[in-house]
Structure formats: C-alpha cells, structure tokens
Amino acid sequence: MKNFRFLIIPFIICVSACNWFKSPPEIGKVLSEHFKNKIYKDFDTVAYDSVFVKTLDSLSSGFINPKTVKAFYEENGREPRLVTKFYTNGELDSLITYLQNSKVHGFNPEIFKVEQLKSLLKELSDNQFKKVEETYPVIARLEALSANAYLNYNNFLKYGVVNPRNIFSRYYIKVKRPDSTGMIKLLASESMLDTLKAVQPNSAQYKGLQRAYLNASTESEKRILLLNMERFRWKMPETGSNYVQVNIPDFKLTWFDKTDTVISMKVCVGGKRENGYEDKLKAFAKSGNLDDKPKNHETPLLFSKINSIQANPVWNIPVSIAQSEIYWMARKDPYYLSNSNIKVYYKDRLIGEPDTINWNRYSRDKLPFKFKQGSGNGNALGKFKFIFDNGSSIYLHDTNNKNGFNLSNRAISHGCVRIEKPLEFAEKLVGDSYTYDKLRAEVDLPPIDSAHVKWYKKRLAAKADTTKAFQLKPAWFGPKKAVPLLITYFTAWAQNDKIEYRPDVYQMDEKLWVAMKKFR
C-alpha cells in the first residue's frame, strides 16, 4: 500500500503539469459549446498568448491608437475579449455590417480592414480546424483587427477623423478628442451593438447633409458635403441653447435660441491671407525684412463668451497695422495722426504733438511707439465694441465703412468682425430698457423710454457747454449675462429643407480635404 502511494503522487503531479485537471479558459468554453467541437477544450492560454503578442506587434504599426489597444490587452491578460463576448451572439457580424455601411458617412470601408475581418469570421465559423493550435492565429488576428476597427469607427463618428487644431493655424476652438480612458472603456463595453447604434450622429444638420450626400450626383458636390459632415462631427464646446455664431463663409452673425433665430445680420471678416503665403513666410523667416512679410488677416476660429460692451471705444492699434499702414500714412502726411484722432505714446507717455515726430529717424520694424485712436465719429471701430476673451486681440465691432456690407465677398477687415447692426445687437445683450437707454445716450441717441429723457438732455447740455471741455470717453456696459460666441467655418449646411452653399473664402476646404483623403 505504501508503495502504491509513492507511485500515485508523481502521477498526480505529472498530469497536473499537463493541464489535465485544469478547466479550459473562457474562450475555449465558449467556442467548444458553440461549435460542439472538443478541440477548444484543449485551448492553451500560454500558447495563444505568444501568438497574440506577435500578431498585435505585426498589426499595430497600422493602428491609429496602438498604445491604447496594447494597454487594454495588457490590463486584461491578453484574453480575446471581443471574440469571447461578441462572436457567438452575432455582434461581431453587426460590427462588420456597420463598417460596410460606413460609406453613408463618406468613409471607405477598407480603412477598417473589413474584408480581412469578413474572411477571418468565415474561417472561424467554417469550423474546419483539426487542432486547436490552428485557431490561435485566426482568433488573435480577428481580435486585434476587430478592436482597432471598433475603436476607429466609434472615434471617427463621435469626434471626426481629423483634429482641426493640427491642420489649421488659426483654429483655436478646443474640440474634444478621444482619450485612452474612454477608448479602454469602449473596448470593455458590454454591448458592441448598443455602442454602434448610440454613436450614429443624429443632429438635424448632420442628417440633412448626409441625405444630400447620398443623393448628390457630382463629385464636387459630394466633396463639399463630406467636408461639412466632418465639421459637424467635431466635438465642439457646449454652447447651451442660447448663443451667437459667426459663420465666416456666410459672412453672417446669427443669435440662436434653441432652433429659433433671435437676430441675424451681415458681418465683414478678416481678409484672406496672401497667395503663396507659406512660401513667403519662409522667405520672411530668412530675411527678417518686413517687406517680405506676407499679409494674413484671417479671422481666427474660436469659442468664447461676450462679457462686455464698450460704447465710444478706443482702438489700440496693433503693431502689425502700425508698421504696415500707420507708419507710412504718418510719413506721407504730417497731420494724418491728429486729423485721425490718433494719439502716440512713447514708453507709455503721451506725445503732445505727434505731428512733429521725424519719422525718418525710425525704421518701421523697430517702432518705439504705441498708437491709440480716441473715441469719436472717426474711430475705425465705430460706436460700439463687443468684447470677449481670446488670445488674438479680436472683437466684434461697429464700423464707419458701412459700404462694406454691400459687398458679396466681405472678407475685408484686419481680422476683427464688423457687424451690420451693432445697436440692435447691443439691445439684445443688455436685456433691459434702462441700461439700453443709458447706452444710447452715450452715442447721442434719444432714449426709448420717455422717463429717461431728463438725464439724456443733461448729457447733451454738458456736451454743448462751450465753457467746459467735454471729453468723449469710452463707457462700459455689461450684458445681462455672458453670451457664448462661436466663430466657425461652414461652407455647406442644411436650412429650410435644402442645402446652403458658400464659397471657401479662406481655402480651408482644400486643406481639410488633403487631411481627409486617406480615409476615402
């Protein structure tokens, strides 16, 4: 009996080492039960793991987010989680259906390796394997390609295929992009089908463009529609239901309250950059000569909130305009500055008589002066300036050049946005009659409310009193509440059951198309 005991112990150790008493992993159980095939009961996780690592390494160079995919599988023991969870319930088939139908969003299904996925699924479903080892490369490849396709499809529809901040130099809107935490959560989702359904863009704008794209007959029209579908996929900041939008190609400002339009007006925006701008910029970088510096007055795309109104504004003239325009005008006409109500400062001290400055002593690229245009009728900003935080020193403002609003191409400013109806816009912003009448009085307009006539007349009397020096100064007003402002760029959008098209005034469509071509 003792001899028998000594014999059986080594036997138990041996069979244990050979996994005889070890139950198959989850993937083995799932496939064994599904196919009624005993080979899956011998599924060896160590052997599969080695195959999967090599497969993932060979494929990941073509992935958009290889580090995230690898991190997910490292965290989960490199188990084939997608095949285990979504093969037998048909959701991997659903994934392939969505990938094949991605053409409705303007994608080429082959960017998701859809034919490879179909082939791998068929090979697994045919169940012709003789040994379990033959299944490892098929399962490993199906797992890795499914994970990549699933991530890319969801990310493309939820966030867009292109990050606009990477291709446009003046795109300052902080669009949300996919992050590793969200992608890992996506790979760990309990229902692939629910996720694929939920990620479909459902805004009225996107659906309108999509319908037009599927019905479009020419490639040029399809291209414009696709570009703007992509713009509507970008994850923009939350504006709320009440916000102001300036669409540069439309040359229009619109104040939205949900789907209603509160007010709409024409705008003039920054002029487009010079032709050959990139090459000229390189030449300027080498020479440092201002004569080589190309002009770029394009209005930046941004998101902010309008937080104040300045009546009778002062214009702090930018250095670029001082160098390219003010300097030459002052040299040409010694009285240009005083006639234009432009004050000159040297080391922040006001120069009393700017007409006496000898401009020949100064080169325009090293001007030691600052220039400010005072309040009044001649001010380039007109009677109102609407201010919002931004890093480009731009704002919405009135203008003395009202003829600009009659132009079809209104890309004529130095970068700020001139608005057609500043008084109406100010009225909507302040939101009450008392403040609005105070604002009107600052620009010599009579009050709307007769109860405010008394202090309006008092102001006019002070201004007309020749015994006192009346100095016109800026006056500040706060809006009832800060209003979100979005300066954006759409060359096509849905409106009143049809598609509106506008010219690509800054050639941003061209640049976006180049970035999107690899997804076509």
Angle between helical axes of 219-233 and 508-516 (0-180°, round to 10): 90
Length of the chain: 520
State how far the Cα of 467 lies from the Cα of 444, in Å rounded to an integer: 20
State how far the Cα of 423 lies from the Cα of 266, in Å rounded to an integer: 14
Write out the two tokens for 438.
């105070």
Contact 463, 470 (CB under 8 A): yes
Which of these is catalytic: 105, 297, 416, 452?
416
State how far the Cα of 81 lies from the Cα of 93, in Å rounded to an integer: 15
State how far the Cα of 8 lies from the Cα of 14, in Å rounded to an integer: 10
H/E element, 443? none
Half-sphere exposure in the Cβ direction for 273 (13 Å, CA): 18
Q: What pairing do the DSSP bridges indicate for beta strands 483-488 and 242-247?
A: parallel
Q: Is 397 one of the catalytic residues?
A: yes
**Interior angle at CA 396, CA 390 and CA 397, nearest 5:** 140
Write out the two tokens for 209.
């463009």
Contact 253, 245 (CB under 8 A): yes
Each residue of 254-277: b (16+ CB within 10 Å) or e? bbbeeeeeeeebbbbbbbbbeeeb
H/E element, 276? none
Q: Give the residue from 310, 266, 309, 251 showing the smallest Cα distance to 419.
A: 266
Q: Give the residue from 416, 422, 318 showing the smallest Cα distance to 369.
A: 318
Write out the two tokens for 257.
């309250």
Q: Which residues contact 251 (CB under 8 A, 6 or more apart)?
A: 266, 267, 268, 269, 409, 410, 411
Angle between helical axes of 45-59 and 135-159 (0-180°, round to 10): 50
Half-sphere exposure in the Cβ direction for 519 (13 Å, CA): 24
Which of these is catalytic: 105, 268, 297, 397?
397
Q: Which residues contact 98 (CB under 8 A, 6 or more apart)?
A: 153, 196
Write out the two tokens for 470.
């009346």
Q: Which residues belong to the active site?
A: 397, 416
